[in-house]
Amino acid sequence: MLDQWYQSLGFALAPTELIQLAALVFARSMLVLFFNPFLGGQVVPGPVKMATSFTFIVLLLPLLGSTNGDTIPTGLPYFYLLVKELAIGATLGWISGLIFAGFSAAGRLVDTQRGTNMAETMVFQIKERTSVFGQLYTQTAIVLFLIAGGHLVFLKGFFTSFEVLPVTEFPAFADGPAPILRELARLSADVLVIAVQLSAPALIALFLTDVGFGIINRASPQINVFVVSQPAKVAIGVFMVLLVMRVLMDQFDLYGREMLISFYRFIGYTGS
């Protein structure tokens, strides 16, 4: 009876072959969900990630069912395919999370300059410690990304990756690995660029504050400038962040768009 039900689905593959393909999809999906902060990241329990990965498998059944069974290897070649899927999934998830690491670093720079970096909190999506403003920047960026529908664009690209690079094929690298390596290196460097750009207004204001208190200390050495400057720098840092928050939100949106462009570009590199 089960055989009749399976045949009624119209799959050209044997059940064992379909399970092999599903395992490859599962490998790519799990790593994406693990490294991706705006889909929950590491804060989502393992069973939920597994259920979501199985949902992806169900959604991709029409694509998997049309695969030629002769192209599914066994033994060591299948193991290589599994390793390839893990690498692709980890890279896609890593690309999607890099900009949020930049947002966290920007907040930490501000808190370091205003002397409050000792107060730390945990970004549960990526399981990393950050400062108070680092948490604010990261969570604000995630919320704005979800409101803008960026996660839908991301998921569309993720499903497209199975068409560009089927689970039974290895990356073609038509232009060689150099474009991919350059892209990944640029994305890594952009973390520092994002951190400096987003923290620049507050850093400049706090630097000028330090210069001002330095002048006061030279003019009146009897004043304990260190004790006076600390509360002032804390307040000025908060004021500057609130003052430029609207601009920061626009930058969060811009960097989110750039991340999606890089995400799609990487998928294109893996195709023929």
Helices (H) and strands (E) counted in the chain, each on its own, are: 10, 2
Cα separation, 139 vs 174, whole angstroms: 38
User: Model confidence over 206-222: pLDDT tens digits?
Assistant: 889 888 888 887 877 77
Report how many domains make up the chain.
Answer: 1
What is the rounded average pLDDT for all residues in the chain? 83
pLDDT greater at residue 68 or residue 269: 269
Name the one residue in this structure whose structure tokens are 């640029």: 186
Burial class (CB in 10 A: 0-12, 13-18, 19+), 266: buried
pLDDT band at 156 (very low <50, low <70, confident <90, very high): very high
Range of the domain at 148: 2-270
Cα separation, 231 vs 114, whole angstroms: 9
User: Model confidence over 99-153: pLDDT tens digits?
Assistant: 888 898 998 998 888 887 777 787 777 777 888 888 888 888 889 999 988 889 9
pTM of the full predicted structure? 0.83
CB 124 within 8 A of CB 234: no
Tokens encoding 79: 């193991």
